[in-house]
Amino acid sequence: MRIVTWNINSLNARKDFAALFLDQVAPDVLALQELKLETDKVPREPFESRGYHVAIFGQAKWNGVAIAAKAPISDVITGVSGDEGESRLLAATIDGIRFVDVYCPQGQTADSDKFAYKLRFYDALIGWLEGQDPMAPMVLLGDFNVAPAPEDIYDPIGLAGVPSFHPLEHERWKRLEAWGAIDVVKPHVKPGAFSFWDYRAGDFHQNRGMRIDHVLATRPVAERVERAEILRDWRKKKEGLTPSDHAPVIVHLRPA
């Protein structure tokens, strides 16, 4: 099974880019974030015409998450107590695995209301997870907007204390790990392998990025991971189409 998480940064703007990705990579499960569309405005045709089932939790102008899968999708839930009305979590069961697609807030500045909301969202997410069985097959994936360690950000000294690399975020990351969420990508990528680069001129080419898009799994799934990688080439233009500022992250599972 090939599992992908990808912050698409507007599915409307990148519909054709996403279709090209489906044709060339053909993941079994694709979790998208930052759709920037209401649920009924999300284009289903690029997915359904290729045989994918789709679950969507959209929101106009910002946020929004979706899961597309080759196998049937069941037991869909949307939202988490504490998301304060924002479309940031979508959970569904596919082939016996519970997939939880999250788009965590960015936080803007450490002294802003948006950062306080980010911490509240993480607390709500962790509280929700603590009500789940950490030994059940689960994949928690998405744009977490946290670089967990110094090697996951291009300037850990200059950006220390900035949202996405803040001690209060790192505390919450450790709580995710303590619950039983295992980062299944980190063992397979080199330090300085990032998943996000700002659109500012030169950031991508000079590798001024962060690894903030993650695939976490409970042990029954983590033990099935064969390899993982960040598909950096998909941060580049393809056939004249403009990419997202995030690269897809892919994890390969061996059969159960």
Catalytic pick from 52, 103, 122, 154? Answer: 103
At residue 212, what is the residue type? I
CA 161 to chain CA mean position, Å: 22
Is residue 103 among the annotated active site residues? yes
Catalytic pick from 52, 101, 122, 143? Answer: 143
Q: Cα(73)–Cα(54) distance, rounded to whole angstroms? A: 7
In the block, residue with structure tokens 């948006």 = 114
Determine contact, residues 88/105, Cβ cutoff 8 Å.
yes
The catalytic residue positions are 103, 143
